Amino acid sequence: MLAYKNTIAIIPAGGSGKRMKADIPKQFLELRGVPIIIRTIDKLHKSKMFSKIIIPTHFEWIYFIKENLESRGIDIPVFFVPNGKERQDSIYNALISPYCASADYVLIHDAVRPKLSVDLIKRVVKEVHFYNAVIPVIPAKDTIKIVDKNGFVFKTLDRERLRIVQTPQAFSYIDLRKAYEQVMKLDKVFTDDSAIAEHCGISVKTIEGEERNIKITTPEDME
Ligand code: C5P
């Protein structure tokens, strides 16, 4: 049987959610009576894979999260770090915090993806013990093109090889921290953690993701 090493979860929740056009950041909106971020934390808690959860977020939302977890009996240890300007700044704050000191692996999952299954969380954690860097992906259903700045098609990509990338993504803590330390010196914004790993030469294994694991971004996604 596989003896799992210490895995810490990081849930970035420091975005402002401009595309949602709501008064509050989308991760704190309620979905059928339960805030999105609380649904997400509950899934990670139920997987029993993590010693603790670190949440980079706006300080004014800390009490809201704590209170909601307590009233719902979700008792996994949760620690907060400040959010940053970009998603990668928020994650970096978690990676360099003392809360990560004992981590062998870190799993990073967007607060705004509450629909993932516990099975997916377990598969990602299991596979990171073998591959050191693991991401869930689903096949691209649509044809995807690169266009130029005037809106003309530049190139059509080979759909057979295209994948849509999701979170949770898991990594060896030391490797990811080193990769982040390297890229934080650059003037470059990365949209996910695996792009940072990739940039630093870490080989990233893909596993099967889930159609239901959508990222809630716009009001249509809430429907
Ligand atoms: O903006 P995007 O949809 O890529 O955000 C994905 C996740 O990253 C969200 O959960 C959001 O709250 C978080 N985020 C963050 N800090 C930022 C921007 C986004 O923690 N500065």
Q: With cut-offs at 50, 70 and 90, classify the pLDDT of residue 22.
A: confident
Pocket-forming residues, ligand 1, beta carbon under 6 Å? 12-15, 27, 56, 83-87, 90, 110-112, 215, 217
pLDDT in the model for residue 1: 62
Ligand 1 atom nearest the C-alpha of 217 is 3
Strands 133-139 and 205-208: parallel
| Residue 33 · residue 42 · CB < 8 Å | no
Q: What is the pLDDT, as a whole number, of residue 20?
A: 64
Question: Does 207 have pLDDT greater than 70?
Answer: yes
Tell me, what's the pLDDT at 186? Answer: 96
**Ligand 1 centroid vs 14 CA: distance in angstroms?**
6
What are the tens digits of pLDDT across the range 147-188?
Answer: 999 999 999 999 999 999 999 999 999 999 999 999 999 999
Q: Where are the beta strands (DSSP E) in the chain?
A: 7-10, 30-31, 34-35, 53-57, 78-82, 105-108, 133-139, 145-147, 153-156, 163-165, 169-172, 205-208
Pocket test for ligand 1, best of 112, 180, 190 (most atoms within 8 A of CB): 112
Q: pTM here?
A: 0.96
Which atom of ligand 1 approaches the CA of 11 most closely? 10
For ligand 1, atom 21: residue with the closest CA: 86
pLDDT in tens, 84-105: 999 999 999 999 999 999 999 9
List all residues 6 or more positions away from 216 whose beta carbon is below 8 Å from its beta carbon.
20, 26, 31, 36, 112, 113, 114, 222
* b (16+ CB within 10 A) / e for 30-50: eeeeebbbbbbbbbbbebebb
Query: How far apart are the C-alpha atoms of 113 and 123, rounded to whole Å?
Result: 17
Q: How many whole angstroms from 203 Cα to the centroid of ligand 1?
A: 24
Helix axes 173-183, 87-95, angle to 10 degrees: 130
Asked if 105 and 6 count as a contact pair (C-beta separation under 8 A), the reply is yes
Q: How far is the CA of 205 from the centre of ligand 1 (A)?
A: 23
- Angle (CA) 109-13-89 rounded to 5° is 90
Structure confidence at residue 23 (pLDDT):
85
Q: Categorize the per-residue pLDDT at 55 as very low, low, confident or very high, splitting at 50, 70 and 90.
A: very high
